[in-house]
Structure 1
């Protein structure tokens, strides 16, 4: 069935509900270039302003999945994946994938690169000498069967409509639309073919969703899409008001992830890794305590095999920066706040992130947080450590950190990393 693009745009502009046939046609026609960029821009803005109901969102997601191929991996283990909506210091995929694999599941983690103040998993892993992100479908399947976990770039042909629409939304101020965000995330994740999916939906200054209610709405939409498409889903709402862990950047986050896999690491990173692993294993039907497996060292062994399988050397030294700048504590007392967004922007300006998708990143760039909220600090002692290969970027990073931390007399009230859980 063929429609006129202007009629589809008008229907949504006027607050109407798009039919299944209209959705299927417009997504397919846009992917093929029949619907022009300016027409899809107008439709995206109409969706941004008017919204979509659950049925429309599910159908839109299905149409984007149908615009390309869907992975069908021949894997003996139950497959389960995790997706994070992005944050600062969010290196959780690195310890999580090998941990869940060590517990008996297969984790096909197709990841992306960072943009702006949020880091990208592939950028972090590429700081490991020799490691490669691009794998063929045969390589992915072979590694899942032999190692149990793979973290790599998305293969060509998965939800091409989303790739095209994502770029358009970025330049038309239509990114912040829950229907378009949710369908973008889920079209790619469902196309990966995992039978279970756990969603880590961040809330706070360093997250896309700044408040818990906004994150809950997105989480509910994501879980409902998964349910509509036959994928078992659970979502955790997690705190992103302060950076995760003490390392923000690329190589520094890999080093911290290895600490966790060796039985150490910051408590918040360990806590969230274990919480997400428990949800993933529950969806996979595996009754194993991930905390015990993590403490045993088995997850580190899987990590080493996973990195080696993709050409990396897990024992190689990670890149070190040519310039280090220490930010001292301004006073003695207790660190009462450390803003995730401020730290993320500072790390980005140091070279850990990119402003455009084609920009390079520095493997050694990033920030080490010597204190987290609740820790005692001493005036003049190191609070933050800035790493970069471009020392001329340090003033801009320091400007981003202005007002980003406070020292007071009393520790802030302790809160857990997991704020809420959303199930079907």
Structure 2
């Protein structure tokens, strides 16, 4: 087989065989295909696309390029949840203990944050003592005993995808539905899940800015899961404003704890109940969505979800008392209010700008090697549709920056304050807003979302 022939074949719009795709990924991962040839192939895919079968074959080839987790020794149906990334997205922190308390085992490998979206592992590390590394034996034992474990991704999970993504990032081929879908699903399959629930974000703070793009990505990932024998569903959810109020590692853990205590923001709770209901149905712990939702709500009210969170934190070496006393989490030294420059209604919040401002404060990484400050971030005081009076707080920055001798923050910090203020659009009249959840995508098609 010659690589140049495979590039030409895809360039001309023909389908590649499974063997050809396996060859391409295997040889590239081994360093025997140079970057310039793989770049040419990725560009051919960008313009020509891939069939459902080709995309599934690419996914399996990348999943099998490194370690594949065998979760067979874990009792029950393992249901994984994946979000395509957003601002303030702390659903895993709520869903993990909530679903585990309902009897569905959650064996999750998560990543760190990069850019304007946060990472679950960083958030968990804001809990004193929490260990994100576990041997495979300890990982499986913990899930069987506790029902929940969340660890950092192995360095050898889907190494071919890591190489290909880095190449796509510098060759303008990131925004390709087949390549995005296979990248996401290869990691889920290599992580060993029996079934997968996807949260595909759309809006200003999401990778997929338009609803049509998000639906196409969801369909591609559900098709892959179906092709490779994993029952997969996807919810399309809104990211035109941050999820909940808190953006930043320890701040998001605090908000997750409030939700597990039965409070928390309504949008976060609604999304967790929706995703969790599908996880229970796929995990055969509920016969229908309404039954599943009722069970999850009961677990929030009776305190069992919070108990499971404490058990989980303790099992991974963390200070479980944080579940009852979130003040034990790291806190920033200063709080600065960002006030409204006009009266009216909040009609838009640029979620990506809020995420970028949090990153600039130190809550996220500009590069993979950047150090982060677990205590800093942004807490919104207003959400879409809220009335606001000029001078009223729109958001609060939690920062460790120090004022200079003149009493002012440095240039970078002033830029952050302006970015947050400009992220809020205030108009004289209230506006209509899109729903939090738009649709459900299954192997049988797309359905408009209707609450239980």
Q: TM-score, normalised by structure 2?
A: 0.90
Shift of 1:38: 2.1
Give the structure 2 partner of residue 81 of structure 1. Answer: 80
Can you list the C-alpha shifts for 1:194-247, whole angstroms capped at 9, x where unaligned? 111000000001000001110000000000000011101010000000110000
Q: Is the 8 A contact 2:339 2:421 kept in 1?
A: no
Give the structure 2 partner of residue 274 of structure 1. Answer: 273
Q: Is the 8 A contact 2:100 2:106 kept in 1?
A: yes
Give the alignment of 1:107-118 within 5 angstroms.
107-118=106-117
Give the structure 2 partner of residue 293 of structure 1. Answer: 299
Give the alignment of 1:75-224 within 5 angstroms.
75-224=74-223
Give the structure 2 partner of residue 284 of structure 1. Answer: 283
Shift of 1:388: 2.2
**SS of 1:315's equivalent?**
helix
Q: Which runs of 5+ in 2 are unaligned?
A: 287-291, 323-327, 403-409, 444-452
Q: Segments of 4+ in structure 1 off by > 6 A? A: none
Give the Cα–Cα distance (whole angstroms) in 2 for the partners of residues 300 and 246 of structure 1: 20
Give the Cα–Cα distance (whole angstroms) in 2 for the partners of residues 12 and 397 of structure 1: 45
Give the Cα–Cα distance (whole angstroms) in 1 for the partners of residues 342 and 393 of structure 2: 11
1:54 aligns to 2:52 (yes or no): yes
Q: Which runs of 5+ in 1 are unaligned?
A: none
Can you list the C-alpha shifts for 1:57-96, whole angstroms capped at 9, x where unaligned? 0111111122123211211122101000000010011000
Give the Cα–Cα distance (whole angstroms) in 1 for the partners of residues 56 and 433 of structure 2: 38
Shift of 1:402: 5.1
Give the Cα–Cα distance (whole angstroms) in 2 for the partners of residues 354 and 323 of structure 1: 21
Give the structure 1 partner of residue 449 of structure 2. Answer: none
Aligned CA distance change for structure 1 residues 390 and 50 (closer, same or farther; 3 Å): farther
Give the structure 2 partner of residue 323 of structure 1. Answer: 334
**SS of 1:12's equivalent?**
helix
Can you list the C-alpha shifts for 1:236-292, whole angstroms capped at 9, x where unaligned? 000000110000111100100000000000000000000000011111111242122
Give the Cα–Cα distance (whole angstroms) in 2 for the partners of residues 24 and 233 of structure 1: 23
Give the structure 2 partner of residue 227 of structure 1. Answer: 226
Give the structure 2 partner of residue 314 of structure 1. Answer: 320
Can you list the C-alpha shifts for 1:133-170, whole angstroms capped at 9, x where unaligned? 12111121011111111111112432221122122222
Shift of 1:28: 0.5
Give the structure 2 partner of residue 404 of structure 1. Answer: 423
What is the Cα-based RMSD across aligned positions, in Å?
A: 1.4
1:416 aligns to 2:416 (yes or no): no
**SS of 2:422's equivalent?**
coil
Give the Cα–Cα distance (whole angstroms) in 2 for the partners of residues 70 and 237 of structure 1: 28
Give the Cα–Cα distance (whole angstroms) in 2 for the partners of residues 411 and 402 of structure 1: 19
Q: Is the 8 A contact 1:137 1:155 kept in 2?
A: no
Which region of structure 1 is more displaced relative to structure 2, 391-400 or 65-74? 391-400
Give the structure 2 partner of residue 243 of structure 1. Answer: 242
**SS of 1:237's equivalent?**
strand
Q: Is the 8 A contact 1:328 1:382 kept in 2?
A: yes
Give the Cα–Cα distance (whole angstroms) in 2 for the partners of residues 138 and 90 of structure 1: 30
**SS of 2:297's equivalent?**
helix
Shift of 1:45: 1.7
1:340 aligns to 2:346 (yes or no): no
